[in-house]
Structure 1
């Protein structure tokens, strides 16, 4: 049985983000630019004991009168916030239809776009992220070349799966703690460990590609 995902890493010696010499299957395969959009850890200064005690008292006081929400609602709201897991790196995931998803059904995925007429593959990645954020004024793309690459191929249990190549680019959050995320049904900000819950079959690939 063929493996569902063939994972390939490449160190591309190019400053333009163009894809060269990477043909591993039929030339008709689509190329998808995917963006690993990352929020770096936030350094939190140590709170003085007196300040901490006052904040704890204020929190417990307001908790007595706040409106009660189901735990699942609170958990979902927290996952959408850039203010969670401040000591960890966070990554943006979208929920909705994307290229290659079986039957056109919505799935969790990174911001991505099929490469078409863009000048470079990085330009395609920028376009993918811009379609989600509206603009790129609070983002920084790390390098012009992809940080990783995988080949998606049909399998025995999913023969109708489209064959395509996905190239990952890294971009980071700059000088903001909130985005208005669009062009998706839902979104979450997750840690590296949480990514494996969304992509268990790609856990080994993500663990090698993402350094945290």
Structure 2
């Protein structure tokens, strides 16, 4: 029994030693959910049309007198003029990627431009922060997003655990520690605009547009982001 405790202690020391040699980074996938219902896929629409016509063959026949009564029900002097809001916004027409009022039927993700861990020059990246003295990685992720958008009252973090992680090994200087990025998901709640700061530029992009910014990590991000 004593030997087992010694072995466990040794393993623990090796694990913490390896952990301390790596740089831990919390990144935030900040998304805006779709505002309008996405258009129905043509295949799904064709099936629904076929299903409706099929049911019409077996629908119940009602007496003509009953149908006339239902036609006159609810009629009055009032009239409601309803015009649905357009699915294409002004931001779509001008391709304003800094606006949240675009691609209303898709999810949007925030990317910021500036220096980040592992890059010596400004690049596009997710809001992130190096894990230091925070209580846990979730708190570190909250601090990362707060540093870019300020108040977190219009955000919702989905769960306490990261949705994925990526390890970046140093390419040239082996003395530089590897970087482990842990991704957390947060969502926009009841907000149409954020005051993005501490960066050179920012964009709100769809998943397809996002993958174009990270061609080397496109396969990983495509699997991690479900939309």
Task: Name the structure 2 match of 1:130.
Answer: 146
Change (3 A) 1:141 1:45: closer
> Which of these residues, 150, 154, 170, is aligned with residue 166 of structure 2?
150
In 1: Cα distance, 2:109 partner to 2:38 partner: 23
In 2: Cα distance, 1:165 partner to 1:180 partner: 28
Task: Name the structure 2 match of 1:141.
Answer: 157
Query: Do residues 37 (structure 1) and 53 (structure 2) align?
Result: no
Query: Do residues 90 (structure 1) and 83 (structure 2) align?
Result: no
TM-score, normalised with respect to structure 2: 0.66
Task: Name the structure 2 match of 1:171.
Answer: 186
Task: Name the structure 2 match of 1:196.
Answer: 211
> Any unmatched runs of 5+ in structure 2?
1-14, 40-79
Deviations 1:64-122 (A, max 9, x none): xxxxxxxxxx44xx100101100000000000011111x2x100000000000000100
Instruction: Find the residue that maps to 1:200 and give its secondary structure.
Output: coil
Task: Name the structure 2 match of 1:116.
Answer: 132
* 1:45 CA drift (Å): 11
Higher Rg of the two aligned structures: 2
Instruction: Find the residue that maps to 2:226 and give its secondary structure.
Output: coil
Deviations 1:33-57 (A, max 9, x none): 00000000012699x99847xx8xx
Change (3 A) 1:147 1:44: closer
> Any unmatched runs of 5+ in structure 1?
1-21, 60-73
In 2: Cα distance, 1:203 partner to 1:164 partner: 18
1:48-87 to 2 correspondences below 5 Å: 51=83, 74-75=94-95, 78-87=96-105
1:17-32 to 2 correspondences below 5 Å: 27-32=20-25
RCO higher in structure (CA 8 A, sep ≥6): 1
In 1: Cα distance, 2:127 partner to 2:38 partner: 32
Change (3 A) 1:162 1:199: farther
Change (3 A) 1:50 1:143: closer
